[in-house]
Amino acid sequence: MNEKYKDLFSPLTLPNGVELKNRLVIAPMTHYSSNPDGTVTEDELRYYARRSGGVSAVITACTYVIQNGKGFFYHFGADRDELIPSLRKVATAIKEQGAKAILQIYHGGRQSPPDLVPNGDIVSASAIPAERPGAKTPRALTETEIEEIIDAFGEATRRAIEAGYDGVEVHGANGYLVQQFFSPHSNRREDRFGGSLERRMAFPLAIIDKINSVVAAHAKSPFIVGYRFSPEEAETPGITMVDTLKFVDVLADQGLDYLHVSLGDFFSTPRVGVDDLTKTRVEYLLETIDNRVPLIGVGSIQTADDARKALDTGVALLAIGRGIIVDPDWVQKIQEGRENEIITKINRNNQKELVIPDGLWHKIMNVPGWFPVE
């Protein structure tokens, strides 16, 4: 191994005592290839197994915790006990390669396609549609329904424990329901779940509390609990960097094992609202967290030098998404001193060699600019 990359392979002990063998994890990436009933396919299992050998942990694609939480077609579920055997297959495929398996859990909220949810009844914090063409107006959840969804996150966590996962990650990013409750755009409520910035934190904090109680009751060994968030929104009014820093300051004291910022570019800077718009979002987050909880950074890390530069900021872990889809041996090549052999563009003829399921392959080939394709 090249000496300058050795820190990427130093172990990290999480707050709950679980040791990760290195600083590289697989980012949650949807693969659009599950069965309609929410079970995983053999193609997905092969996809995970092929990519889990070098990283310390794999954060799975998001799994819905309740039927009206499906955010898109062909992803796997964690909403009922009948899916535990399916969930176990994914955990086993990952863990057999030596990585920790972390199940990402979520609810789509107003992002859910009406065709996917019971009676087409899409729900959110408030009856405010997303700012995108053709967006449907959701129905505002009642307080009783909110409590049911909080419980559903707890039940999904119990299923993850029973299925052999090493942890769960709450998907509070990318415009899904948990983020919708924190956002002043989608949350116009005037009850205990909305209004002030502090009350907009109530729903995600209640989910964390529920998960922590389930872990305490059911896990027989230390179980990882993480939280993913998006730092800003384009909508007006929307989540600002200042809002997020206040939220992160609270999240850092919730007994979590890590926070995970969702970024398209690791070194991106805030849009508005902070004093210095030249400082990166990651720099602001690290200052606020102040070593209270590990931070996972992500976003366009394609080469070994990208990873080295990102780790130098002080983040504890790096999540690799597209890079490890393009080259499943990304981590091993750095570890073996072959970083110059990392492949950075997908060859249109290499789907089988790359072990990429049909659904994900179709998206890669048909969404311009998402992946570098040659």
* Residues 78 and 63: beta-carbon distance below 8 Å: yes
Distance CA 70, CA 295 (A): 27
Instruction: Establish if 252 belongs to a structural domain.
Output: yes
| Whole-number pLDDT of residue 272 | 87
Instruction: Express each pLDDT in 187-201 by its tens digit.
Output: 999 999 999 999 999
Output the domain CATH number for residue 100: 3.20.20.70
Tokens linked to 232? 């800003």
Instruction: Please tell me whether residue 9 adopts helix, strand or coil conformation.
Output: helix
Q: Three-state SS for 124? A: strand
Residue 294: C-alpha distances to residues 14, 22, 266 (Å): 7, 13, 16
* Number of domains present in the structure of the chain: 1
Evaluate whether residue 75 is within a structural domain.
yes
In a domain, 343, yes or no: yes
374 assigned to some structural domain: no
Length of the chain: 374
pLDDT at 28: 97
What is the DSSP code (8-state) at residue 169? E
Q: Cα–Cα distance between 23 and 369 in angstroms, integer?
A: 28
The percent of residues above 70 in pLDDT, for the chain, comes to 100
Q: Is 109 exposed, middle or buried (0-12, 13-18, 19+ CB in 10 A)?
A: buried
Sign of torsion over alpha carbons 288, 176, 280, 185:
negative
What pLDDT is stored for residue 242 in this prediction? 96
Task: Give the Cα separation of 2 and 326 in Å (integer).
Answer: 22
Inter-residue long-range contacts of 338-342, CB under 8 Å, 24+ positions, other chains counted = 339/2, 339/5, 339/303, 339/304, 342/302, 342/303, 342/304
What's the rounded Cα separation, in Å, for the pair 175 and 161? Answer: 27
- 371 located within any domain: no
Residues catalogued as catalytic? 176
Examine residue 134 and state whether it is found in any structural domain, yes or no. Answer: yes
Exposed (0-12), middle (13-18) or buried (19+): which is 123, by Cβ within 10 Å? buried
Q: What is the DSSP letter of 301?
A: -
pLDDT digits (tens, 9 = 90+) for 236-290: 899 999 999 999 999 999 999 999 999 999 999 999 889 999 999 999 999 999 9
- Quote the percentage of the chain above a pLDDT of 90: 98
Query: What are the φ/ψ torsions at residue 320 (nearest 5 degrees)?
Result: -110, 125
- Please check whether residue 90 lies inside any domain of the structure: yes
Residue ranges of E strands in the chain: 12-13, 19-20, 24-26, 57-64, 100-106, 123-124, 139-140, 167-172, 224-229, 258-261, 295-298, 317-320
Beta carbons within 10 angstroms of residue 290's beta carbon: 9
* Residue bearing tokens 């995108």: 132
**Residues of the chain with confidence (pLDDT) below 50:** none
Q: How far apart are CA 8 and CA 310, in angstroms?
A: 10
Helices (H) and strands (E) in the chain, counts: 13, 12
Range of the domain at 50: 3-366
Asked if residue 291 belongs to a domain, the reply is yes
